[in-house]
Amino acid sequence: MKRFNTFQKKIAFSFLIFAFLILMAGCTNKNNNSISSSTGNHQTDSALFNKYKLDKIKLPAGFTISVYAEVPNSRSLCVSPGGTVFVGTRSDKVYAIPDKNNDGYADSVYQIASGLNSANGVAFKDGNLYIGAGSTIYRMDNIESNLANPPKPAVVYDQFPSDAHHGLRYISFGPDNKLYVGVGAPCNVCVPSKPYYGTICRINADGSGFEIYASGVRNSVGFDWNPQTNEMWFTDNGRDMLGDNIPSDELNKTSQAGMNFGFPYCHQGNIPDPEFGKGKNCADYTPPAKLLGAHVASLGMRFNKENKFPPEYKNAIFIAEHGSWNRSIPIGYRVVVLKMDANGNYADPVPFAYGWLQNEKEVNGRPVDVQFLKDGSLVVSDDYNGVVYKISYKS
């Protein structure tokens, strides 16, 4: 009996030690929201390259592509001055990818927000991250110092529409320090029932001063400012159901607030809508700066303000084409570039990174947004694979 009691005591003591170790591990990891600690390191490069079939991606000479990080549903991107890449998603989550030692590799991936409504838009200013999620703009203060234990997002503005159709917010701060917000039309084509539909709006960083900046915009999910003129340029997706080849997506530019780009009355600057364009004159609206192609789904765009690519790419516009969803022969699924000539004029778009669509039917990826890192390389999000790629140049 005495021997049995001693055995029981040993078992009980061992169980207590095990429970204590489990409890300590739980306390240690309670606020650690890192979903990856090895993404993008040297050891995983080759495996990730093969996993996502990056051998199929074609690039100009001297450029290479790799996986920067695996991020579920990765869509809109922004980069802090410190080099952290923030990633919005179609889901309820937002992620952060720091590179604290500036070696060009992602240190880890942190989930910093969840429970939001389609948390697509991300923008960074003065140490704070802004998130565009449906009807609401949120702010997360001093976020880079709190990636492992992020603060609860605070509401900045909550009066945008909550429609699911074209309801993914794209946001970015302009040179005027205002936050610009895309508000798509809640339809394929219709006369907007409220003034803010089919627009790009802007507010102050504290949520005050709401105004409509541009109208007649079907659905813009990408904009940036020309580094030479400070003019805002933006992509706009053309309407569906007029055939394979019309209307084209648009690349538009603004010179002042209040400009109207024609939707729903006029498409690609010269095609009246068969229903809503009756009695309208396309000449009454601002025409596109460039036509980008029908159904390519032009989304994120950026000017290359860095100096690490060859000189011909200085101030060039890079655009992510998400790819067609209802064209008889699919098109898009690539990154294109518009190069600027010596007079400041932009050429038509040409392929820069392509191969995510094979044999006009096999989809291996869908680019969503583009951003430049501090080292001058280009990162590209892909919500089909849940990946952020990195495109680098070495002569």
Specify the 3-state DSSP secondary structure of 282.
Answer: helix
- Mean pLDDT value across residues 170-175: 98
| Burial class of residue 324, CB neighbours in 10 A (0-12, 13-18, 19+) | buried
Q: What is the pLDDT of residue 38?
A: 47
Residues 79-94 have pLDDT tens digits of 999 999 999 999 999 9
Cα dihedral 147, 148, 151, 155, rounded to 10, equals 50
Residue 28 has pLDDT above 60, yes or no: no
**Contact, 335 vs 320, CB < 8 A?**
yes
Per the structure block, which two tokens stand in for 211? 């105004």
Say how many C-beta atoms besides its own lie within 10 A of residue 112's C-beta. Answer: 23
Residue 40 lies in a domain: no
Question: pLDDT class for 33, splitting at 50, 70, 90?
Answer: confident
Residue 23 has pLDDT above 90, yes or no: no
Residue 205 lies in a domain: yes
Residues 94-136 have pLDDT tens digits of 999 999 998 989 999 999 999 999 999 999 999 999 999 999 9
**DSSP calls for 293-345:** EET--EEEEEE---SSS-GGGTT-EEEEE---SS-SS----EEEEE-B-TTSP
Per the structure block, which two tokens stand in for 393? 């140049």
Residue 192 lies in a domain: yes
Residue 352 identity: F
- Mean pLDDT value across residues 360-387: 97
Residue 1 lies in a domain: no
**Contact, 286 vs 255, CB < 8 A?**
no
Residue 120 lies in a domain: yes
Residue 266 lies in a domain: yes
Supply the CATH number for residue 346's domain.
Answer: 2.120.10.30
Q: Which long-range contacts (CB under 8 A, 24 or more apart) does 340-345 make?
A: 340/314, 340/315, 340/316, 344/228
Cα–Cα distance for residue pair 255/42, rounded to 1 Å: 45
CA distances 97 to 106, 189, 217, Å, are 6, 37, 32
CA distances 178 to 83, 207, 220, 276, 311, Å, are 22, 9, 17, 33, 31
Q: What is the pLDDT of residue 32?
A: 62
Q: Do β-strands 350-354 and 357-358 pair in parallel, antiparallel, or remain unpaired?
A: unpaired
Beta-carbon contacts of 54 under 8 Å, excluding residues fewer than 6 positions away, are: 48, 65, 66, 67, 389
**Structural domain that includes position 387:** 46-393
Cα–Cα distance for residue pair 62/394, rounded to 1 Å: 5
Closest to 87 in 3D by CA, of 125, 130, 128, 120: 120
Q: What is the pLDDT of residue 96?
A: 98
Question: pLDDT class for 27, splitting at 50, 70, 90?
Answer: very low
Q: What is the pLDDT of residue 92?
A: 97
Q: What is the pLDDT of residue 82?
A: 95
Cα–Cα distance for residue pair 70/205, rounded to 1 Å: 30
Question: pLDDT class for 36, splitting at 50, 70, 90?
Answer: low
Q: Which long-range contacts (CB under 8 A, 24 or more apart) does 138-147 make?
A: 138/113, 140/112, 140/113, 143/86, 143/96, 143/112, 144/80, 144/82, 144/84, 144/96, 144/98, 147/33, 147/84, 147/96, 147/98, 147/110, 147/112
Indicate the pTM of the whole model: 0.91
Residue 318 lies in a domain: yes
Question: pLDDT class for 35, splitting at 50, 70, 90?
Answer: confident
Q: What is the pLDDT of residue 34?
A: 80
Cα–Cα distance for residue pair 262/271, rounded to 1 Å: 10
**Number of structural domains in the chain:** 1
Q: What is the pLDDT of residue 16?
A: 46
- Mean pLDDT value across residues 227-250: 97
Q: What is the pLDDT of residue 44?
A: 62
Residue 31 lies in a domain: no
Q: How far is CA 322 from the centre of its chain?
A: 11
Residue 248 has pLDDT above 70, yes or no: yes
